[in-house]
Amino acid sequence: MLQKTDGGDGLLERVLRHVEAIYHETPLSLPAAELAGELLQLMRLEDVNVSPQQHVNHWSQRDALVISYGDTLLREDEKPLVTLKHFLDTYGEGLLTGVHILPFYPWSSDDGFAVLDYSSVNEFLGTWEDVSDIAAQYDLMADLVINHCSSRSLWFENFLRGESPGRDYFFTASPDADLSDVVRPRTSPLLREVETSDGTRYVWCTFSHDQVDLDFRNPEVLKQFVSILRHYLDNGVRIFRLDAVAFLWKIPGTPCLNLEETHEVVRLLRTLVECARPDALLITETNIPNRENLSYFGNANEAHCVYNFSLPPLLVNTLVTGDCHHLKMWMMSMPPAQNGTAYFNFIASHDGIGLRPAEGLLSDEELDALVATMRHFGGHVSHRALENGESRPYEINISLFDALQGTTSGPDAWGVERFICAHAIMLALEGIPGIYIHSLLGTRNDYDRVEHSGQYRAINRHQWDYTALQEELSREHSSHARVFTHIKSLLDIRRQQSAFHPNATQFTLHLGTAIFGFWRQSIDRRQSVFCISNISDQAQQLALSDINLIGTDEWVDLLGGAHFQSRDEVVEMQPYQTLWITNAASQPGR
């Protein structure tokens, strides 16, 4: 997928333009051209003069990733990464094409996101060889924790001592500076006072005081992360998740969020990564309001994929209220991703259900009602600080299975059906699906881990004894086996439908507030799939005439097998039932 470039616009020239745009207001200690050359050397691209083809989709409907910590599955006398691969080989073969292993490096807090050493694998989890073994069979996504690192890292210890590497690696600010506009995802103080060999300094901590923000105004920091990228590529990583990248560049007096320099850093990393490996992907983790999140596509020259952060709160809200109005309005507002870019769809993660991406989509009263319902189902709520010193709910911490155990009226008997309905909707949407391992397994809230860790997010970070999990999955009527079997079936059907290509056409249907529907059409226009879900706890009547089936075609429900011959039919949909209605002639063997 590489093209030769002419001499007037070679790779060095492109990288130089990125460098000049990033540091246009920052004095450099070396010429920009020299820095550009060093970046190419670090990526071993100094002799390369090629350009990746634009607008190429490096994915298909067959792609689906599972998201897991390296130690979610534990087996006695075995490294967890080996156990994880055994799970993938045993339960995901042919269905899961990739895996996002959450930070597998040595760390000091935040379950891996306070990195001590980017170049090593946490020895408890395994080795680089174990990582490479997984990458040899599955598309591996790894975190580039680029905004901050651990306050106990060698870099920060050197910062305190005034030694290299690390002396000038961290962002500092005066406590007298006007920081009132800075957007925070936490309620802790932004600045942490520390004593260094140069006296008292105040280091910037966007997330926690153990996660100290790096200073990309220093090109040595950029060079370090380019070197880290190269190291991960060498060990088989194909997909790079840029963690918390929206906060990367800071200018006091501004919100310090989504600054142009941050976008330019993403553009630079994309240029370097895809020239090193043409099918490598960048995905930006930007848990921010929807419009800001979409900006990381750029003009198909920044992230290949962006997390569809508004989907989890909107879909959960839809299923607990029995009203799809807001989900439908959001769907209609979403631009189709250009070829060469795609949405990364998820409805549960290792963190929680982010509420910022729902701001402006749900009213404050609706958000409050959602929070109250989740608390009733055993969830916790994390807050962020506002400019006026107040706080606002930032994230709901709950397992998705428990989040969907009922409606705003309380728990009911439809929990499993509602949970499967959520995944049937997500798997049919435009984009690439990512399924959190605890959703795949129907894991419940883990209150013991919350109590033990003191962290709300631990509620959805259960660790399974692998032998016990295998026993659960072998019990036909256990909720874990039911969930796994249903999601596995959805994945198997999805991967065979060309209309479910991540970039296939998508249109929203208008079927009332209790039935949510959309239409997918394959890129070659041969297949249509009408994806229709009853998102309420009451049976609903679906008139097939409302979804504009072509009368000359035979139509079949991929999930239930029913055939429809007449547009005049009325189908009774059971609570939380989903139909994937396709033209029968598009199916294999027809």
Q: Which amino acid is at 174?
A: S
Nearest residue to 112 via CA among 80, 79, 142, 77: 142
243 is catalytic: yes
Residue 410 belongs to what H/E stretch? strand 410-411
**Residue 376 burial class via C-beta count within 10 angstroms: exposed 0-12, middle 13-18, buried 19 and up:** middle
Q: Is 553 annotated as a binding residue?
A: no
Q: Write out the two tokens for 26.
A: 């920052």
Distances 404 to 58, 63, 502, 537, 539 between C-alpha atoms, Å: 33, 26, 26, 12, 18
Q: Is 490 annotated as a binding residue?
A: no
Q: Is 143 annotated as a binding residue?
A: no
Phi, psi of 406 (to 5 degrees): -165, -160
Q: Write out the two tokens for 429.
A: 């949407």
Rounded to an integer, what distance in angstroms lies between the CA atom of residue 273 and that of residue 58?
A: 14
Phi, psi of 169 (to 5 degrees): -90, -10
Q: Is 546 annotated as a binding residue?
A: no
Nearest residue to 110 via CA among 462, 455, 379, 459: 455
**Torsion angle, alpha carbons of 335, 339, 341, 345, to 10:** 60
Tell me which residue has tokens 């990125």.
18
| Number of alpha helices (DSSP H) and beta strands (DSSP E) in the chain | 17, 29
Q: Which of 130, 243, 323, 446 is catalytic?
A: 243
Q: Which amino acid is at 281?
A: L
Q: Is 473 annotated as a binding residue?
A: no
Q: Is 238 annotated as a binding residue?
A: no
Q: Is 304 annotated as a binding residue?
A: no
Residue 267 belongs to what H/E stretch? helix 260-276
Q: Is 110 annotated as a binding residue?
A: yes
Number of other CB atoms surrounding residue 167 within 10 Å: 18
Rounded to an integer, what distance in angstroms lies between the CA atom of residue 550 and that of residue 525?
A: 14
CA 329 to chain centre: 22
Instruction: Give the count of alpha carbons within 13 A of 255, CB side only.
Output: 13
Where helices occur in 404-544 by DSSP H, the ranges are 415-428, 437-440, 447-453, 466-474, 479-494
Q: Write out the two tokens for 102.
A: 């959450």
Q: Which of the residues are catalytic?
A: 243
- Which residues line the annotated binding site for substrate? 110, 148, 241-243, 350-351, 457
